[in-house]
Amino acid sequence: MSKKEPRISISHSADLRRFKCRLWVYAAILIVILLLAACSSGTSSRRGELGDNQAILATCDPAAPPASLVLLDGTGSSASNAITAERMIAIESIATRTAVCSGYLRVQAFSSSSAATSLLFDGLLKQDGATDNARLKRVPEAVTGVMDKVRSGYGPAVQALPQTGSDIHAQYRLAAEWIQQLGGSYRLDLSIMSDGIQNVGVDLGARPLSKQEAEMLADKVTVPKLPGASVTVAGLGRVAEGAPPSALAEGLVHYFQRLCERTHAASCTAVSDYATAGR
């Protein structure tokens, strides 16, 4: 009778322990990979932001930093969450550009006159640093601080304004006075965010205007001279409820384009899109 070979038995518990060990190793490797990916993503994002700001810096004129004046129509016709959100995006872009170019920023809401205003932010955004990159790395934090103040103050500022009308014309005079008072070598960068429906002195919402009518009407308005300035009027025809006829919005664009040209500004933009104000 042949002798049987001894059978080697493997413990189930030993197999289980080895399996668990492999799982722990795989889990640890996965965690390391995820952490490295997160760090890489964050670094890439920061590098992307720095790269964007370096591109902006290349367009800055050190001899004439921007004096960015953002004027927000605080009348009820512009009171909607969607419009406010678009305005905040545009303001953040303006604040970033101003900080990168070592400029000055003032943000305020207005309604029926140059005196009917509520201040949201006013300050120099020049960043400290021995090199361009050192200064640029401080820009995001500075802009966050600006936007915290603007966002938190916007609602109360608008509520404090008299709701007796919208005088957009008066904001040009206010801008001329402000840049003169600011002094220095600043270049005015004026952004008016409004639906454009002026109803103090002249009612631009009464009916649509043709290009010729709009320009003739704009020629009758007294405006200050703003040589060298960049002027943008954004949000024309954008109202909180409903939408005015497209012909009305087009007439407003022609009107405010002509009004700006009469200030002798270096650059004039009149549009319905708020995003344009932030470019």
Percent of the chain with pLDDT over 90: 72
- Residues β-bridged to residue 123: 105
140 and 158 share a domain? yes
Q: H helices of 123-168, where?
A: 132-136, 139-159
Q: Tell me the C-alpha distance between 135 and 276, whole Å.
A: 26
Angle value at C-alpha 62, between 61 and 67, nearest 5 degrees? 75
Does residue 1 sit within a domain? no
Domain assignment of residue 6, yes or no: no
- The identity of residue 20, as a single letter, is K
**Helix 211-218 and helix 246-261: axis angle, to 10°?**
40
Give the E-state strand segments of the chain in sequence order. 66-73, 104-110, 117-124, 187-193, 230-234, 267-271
Average pLDDT for 237-243? 86
Residue 84 lies in a domain: yes
Asked if the structure places residue 23 within a domain, the reply is yes
Do 161 and 97 fall within a single domain?
yes
Decide if 112 is inside a domain: yes
Q: Is residue 73 part of a domain?
A: yes
Split at pLDDT 50, 70, 90, the class of 32 is: low
177 and 228 share one domain:
yes
37 and 124 share one domain: no
Is 2 domain-assigned? no
> Which residue type sits at 193?
M
Could you tell me if 52 and 68 lie in one domain? no
Q: Is residue 248 located within the same domain as residue 272?
A: yes
Same domain, 42 and 104: no
What pTM, to 2 d.p., does this model score?
Answer: 0.82
- Domain containing 128 equals 63-278
- Inside any domain, residue 7: no
Q: Are residues 42 and 67 in the same domain?
A: no
Band of the pLDDT at 40, cuts 50, 70, 90? very low
Domain stops at, among 58, 81, 110: 58
**Encoding tokens for residue 127?**
């960043």
Digit-coded pLDDT (tens) for 184-231: 899 999 999 999 999 898 889 889 999 999 999 999 999 999 999 999
Whether 44 and 152 share a structural domain: no
Tally of structural domains, the chain:
2
Contacts within 8 Å (CB) and 24+ apart, 25-34: none
Residues 33 and 119 in one domain: no
Under a CB-based contact definition with an 8 Å cutoff, are residues 71 and 167 in contact?
A: no
80 and 54 assigned to the same domain: no
Is 80 exceeded by the pLDDT of residue 43? Answer: no
* 70 in the same domain as 44: no
Q: What is the pLDDT of residues 124-148, one digit of tens each?
A: 999 999 999 999 999 999 999 999 9
* CATH number, domain with residue 128: 3.40.50
